[in-house]
Amino acid sequence: MSLRPILIHPDPRLKKVADPVTEVTPELRRLADDMLETMYDAPGIGLAAPQVGQSVRLIVMDCMKKEGEAPRPMALFNPEVTWSSDERSVYEEGCLSIPEVYNDIERPAEVKVRWLSPEGAVQEEHFKGLWATCVQHEIDHLNGRLFIDYLSPLKRQLITRKMEKLKRDRARA
């Protein structure tokens, strides 16, 4: 396994609609393992393939972040929301591609998601709480959508400028 560099917004690769996976190959399983390692290292609770420059419909996540909870690493290929609740909830979201920026985002409180496992099996699960927020945030990445796209254009512009500066500073360092 190896760590992959995480792209920072703004980057055209974060705005692209990712390609569906037709078959879970050993190479894609390796990508999922690398993404999980990269996510835990960051540290984060979710990561989507476009964030490491791969235009494929793959997300990884683990929202077991309370102390004493066993980890639950998940890799979801071609994840699709099949149902979302009318009830909505607000979470303060962040993103590994938009470091140090956090904003309240409102989304459906619960969702059902169907996906292909690394073994190629169809799975479906009903997600609630932080898991529901996380899986929706990550699926958005596969459609070229970032959580700041839910904010006002002005707010988004301010954040984008901040990230451009961060990238310039990092390039200079």
**Residues involved in catalysis:** 138
* Complex with Ni ion: residue 25 or 160, whichever CB lies closer: 160
User: Rounded to 5 degrees, what angle do the CA atoms 10, 31, 120 make?
Assistant: 120
Q: Least distance from C-beta 149 to Ni ion, angstroms?
A: 11
Q: Whose Cβ is closer to Ni ion: residue 39's or residue 116's? A: 39
Radius of gyration of the chain (CA): 16
Nearest to Ni ion of 25, 42 (CB atom) = 42
Compute the least distance from the CB of residue 143 to Ni ion, in Å: 12
Specify the length of the chain in residues: 173
Contact (Cβ atoms closer than 8 angstroms) between residue 105 and residue 91: yes
Q: Tell me the residue nearest to Ni ion as measured from the CB.
A: 95
At closest approach, how far in Å is the CB of 137 from Ni ion? 6
Sign of CA dihedral 75, 79, 83, 85: positive
Chain positions contacting Ni ion, by CB under 5 A: 95
Whose tokens are 């989507």? That residue is: 48
